[in-house]
Amino acid sequence: MALTGIQILKMLPKKNCGECKIPTCLAFAMKVAAGQMEIGECPYVDDEVKATIGEASAPPIRTVKIGTGDDAFVVGGETCLARHEKRFEHQTGIGVLLTTEMDEAAVGSRLDNYNKLSYERVGVIMKPDLVAVKDLTDAAAFTSLIKTVIDKAPGANIILMSESAANMKAALEICSDRQPLIYAATADNYNDMAALAKDFKCPLTVKGVNLDDAVHISEELSKAGLKDLIIDSGARTLRAAFEDNIVCRRAAINKKYKPLGFPTIAFPCEMSDDLMMEAMISSVLVAKYAGMIILSDLQGDTLFPLFLERMNLFTDPQRPMVVEEDIYPLNGPDENSPVIITCNFSLTYFIVSGEIEGSKVPSWLLIKDTEGLSVLTAWAAGKFGADLIAQFMKKSGIEDKVKHRELLIPGYLANIKGELEEELPEWTITIGPREAGHIPAFLKEWKPS
């Protein structure tokens, strides 16, 4: 049973020291109860309390880490069925399948694409997370392929796929320091695979022939003391995978059903021979609870839309994406360059800065903290008014960077021109375009008055 904030508070040292970056123990306890912070972020709780609170406040779907270091992939930790109820915690991992039956060129091109297909959007890097290495021949070919992956894609998080415990052991001996995911414990081999997962301290996949079988294996592995599990229900059609993912999520969240309280893995690569169909299947499974999806290949035209879908779904709806309040020099501005101001909603920043950069006109872009609200919403909420803009202008240091005193404001803020002139009497306020697409033409015509 989950603990309430007050129950957690009783176990805290109540120093109100703020070292957890939250001003009071009560506020910290509330965040732990809501699953927004880990109890370990308070340095003063002892291990016994950590274990008690950690267990009681653990999310219904366990958080599992694959890999090590900054590039490690974390999955699970989910606490809700719909994103708007709270947020989705860890985005679906996207991986590519390599098998020991593939020739060198096929392996090389997939690893090249794994390394190459990385995109930046609104300041976030979108890239694949996993390489699944499948043993279809023998231990020598399996270990050789794993060495190729380690060599050519050093940042990749690895999934080791083999039905043979002996081959799996050989593979783990060369890459267990990368903390790979072991795939998979089946009804036939779960004792052997469990022993390997324990010995090498790696997460383990449960693979059932159906969901009931997966539940049985999951229960057996939990009894054996294994905690970091991933579920593969064995579904290899879109409909079955879709249904199983929903059953797993509902059982874990609504019923607190422990055997299914783990992230899932799905294999669109085994559901269609057509890459476009595979991408469409993947898009459904990203939206419906797959913890990881494994693709047969990575192609930019299908991967990019998947990345965008994933990003949209896994962005915290309660926390707007923001950029820092600051002065951003674009295209190498000097003391005669235009000064433009806008809000710190990151989409606005990236669109406006992209248009300015595209114009090639050296400019100073001032980003005012509007708590992530867009221009009009921020103005309506009282966060982008003339008085606040004037305060920001005075403290920003822009007056030391330019000789002129002309500020370009967004076209949608035309109604605050008079107020702003009163607040900043030394500045001329010019109303800029309403649409970012019109900024380049506007800047090319601009001259300081």
Nearer Cβ to ligand SF4 (20/341): 20
Six token digits for residue 233: 């229900």
Question: How many Å apart are CA 324 and CA 50, to the nearest integer?
Answer: 34
Q: How far is the CB of 9 from ligand SF4 (least distance, A)?
A: 9
Q: How many CB atoms lie within 10 A of CB 444?
A: 10
Pick the closer one to ligand SF4 by CB: 46 or 188. 46
Q: How far is the CB of 371 from ligand SF4 (least distance, A)?
A: 24
Give the shortest CB-8-to-ligand SF4 separation in angstroms.
9
CA angle 358, 311, 109 (to 5 degrees): 80
User: How far apart are the C-alpha atoms of 206 and 264, rounded to whole Å?
Assistant: 9
Q: Which pairs count as long-range contacts for 436-440, CB under 8 Å and 24+ apart, including other chains?
A: 436/348, 436/351, 436/352, 436/354, 436/355, 437/355, 439/340, 439/352, 439/355, 439/356, 439/359, 440/355, 440/356, 440/358, 440/359, 440/361
Choose between 28 and 384: whose C-beta lies nearer to ligand SF4: 28
User: Minimal distance in Å, beta carbon 42 to ligand SF4?
Assistant: 3
User: Please, which residues have CB within 8 angstroms of residue 382's CB and are 6 or more apart in sequence?
Assistant: none
Q: Are 244 and 289 in contact (CB under 8 A)?
A: no
DSSP conformational letter for 231 = E
CB of 46 vs ligand SF4, minimal distance in Å: 12
Nearer to ligand SF4, 24 or 148 (CB): 24
Nearer to ligand SF4, 20 or 367 (CB): 20
Q: For ligand SF4, which is the closer residue by CB, 8 or 271?
A: 8
Least Cβ distance, residue 32 to ligand SF4 (angstroms): 9
Cα separation of 35 and 173, whole Å?
36
- Our CB check for ligand SF4 shows the closer of 12 and 111 to be 12
* Nearer residue to ligand SF4 within complex by CB, 31 or 152: 31
CA angle 323, 324, 328 (to 5 degrees): 95
Nearer of residues 44 and 85 to ligand SF4, judged by Cβ: 44
What is the sign of the dihedral through the CA atoms of 340, 344, 345 and 350? positive
- State the minimum distance, in angstroms, from the CB of residue 24 to ligand SF4: 6
Residues that bind ligand SF4 (CB under 6 A): 12-13, 15-20, 22, 25, 28, 42, 44
Which CB, 15 or 360, lies closer to ligand SF4? 15
Token representation of residue 421: 């002139």
| C-alpha of 296 from chain center | 22
From the list 53, 60, 61, the residue with the least C-alpha distance to 37 is 53
Distance CA 290, CA 92 (A): 6
Structure tokens of 87?
Answer: 């947020």
